[in-house]
Amino acid sequence: MFDKYLIDPATVRNTGPADAPTGFAFEAKLGYYRGLTLSMIEELAVTLDGTELPRDALQFDEGAGPIALDAMETAYDRRWAFGTPATILVSHPGGLGTGEHKLGLRQKLRVSYLPFPAFNTDEKTVSAA
């Protein structure tokens, strides 16, 4: 319902030392009309130029501190609030590199009243600021 608004391309940036980035980060919203406890975010998958990056390279931070996706599965006391950007941190030696890139995000949500998981996807053309 909000797929095209998930990734905020203006927030994409490299992380780590400027001359030797260790990864990149960007802000994204949850594609759902309400907030959700983190344990129900089953999957956040990031693709860069069409290649999916490893799950264990990702960390998520809605404001309470970075958390690995495996640890999110039991994060029953943290929520991703509606319409509120969270930071997705990606460990990726060298960072984004120069020029434009295709950055993709897929969210798989465990929504209790649906018989199947809910998927949201977005892809934006980005460059590291």
Partner 1 sequence: MSKIQRGVSLYSFQEELFLGRMSVEDCVAFASSIGANGIEILPEQNMPEFPNVTDADVARWQDMLARHGAHFTCYDMFLDTKLRKDSLLSDDEQVDSIVRDIKLASRLGIRNMRVLVFVRPDILARCVPFAEQYDVHLGVEVHAPWHLEHAWILRTIEEADRLGTRHLGILPDMGIFMKHYPPAFRARFERQGARPEVAQFIVDQHEAKIMCEYTIYEVAVKMGGNKAEVAMAETLRHAPFANPKRIGDYAPYFRHIQAKFYEMNEDCTDPAIAYDEVIPELVKCGWEGTLSSEYEGNRWIQDVHEVDSREQVRRQHVMFERLISQAEAKYGAKETV
Q: How far is the CB of 41 from partner 1 (least distance, A)?
A: 11
Smaller CB separation from partner 1, 37 or 91? 37
Within a 10 A sphere around the Cβ of 98, how many other Cβ atoms? 8
Q: Does 102 contact partner 1 by CB under 8 A?
A: no
Q: Residue 5 interacts with partner 1 (CB under 8 A)?
A: yes
Distance between CA atoms of 103 and 109, rounded to whole angstroms?
A: 20
The one among 10, 20, 34, 93 contacting partner 1 by CB under 8 A: 34
Give the number of residues in contact with partner 1, rule: CB under 8 A: 24
Token couple for 60: 């998520």
Taking CB under 8 A as the rule, does residue 82 contact partner 1?
A: yes
Q: Which of 28, 40, 44, 58 binds partner 1 (CB under 8 A)?
A: 40
Stretch that binds partner 1, among 27-35, 46-54, 88-96, 100-108 (CB under 8 A): 27-35
Q: Is 111 in the site for partner 1 (CB under 8 A)?
A: yes
C-alpha closest to that of 28 among 6, 11, 44, 2? 6
User: Is residue 78 a contact residue for partner 1 (CB under 8 A)?
Assistant: no
User: Residue 43, interface with partner 1 (CB under 8 A)?
Assistant: no
Please give the Cα distance from 6 to 19 (Å, whole number). 29
Tell me 57's DSSP state. G
Maximal C-alpha separation, the chain: 48
On whether the CB atoms of residues 27 and 86 are closer than 8 A, the answer is: yes
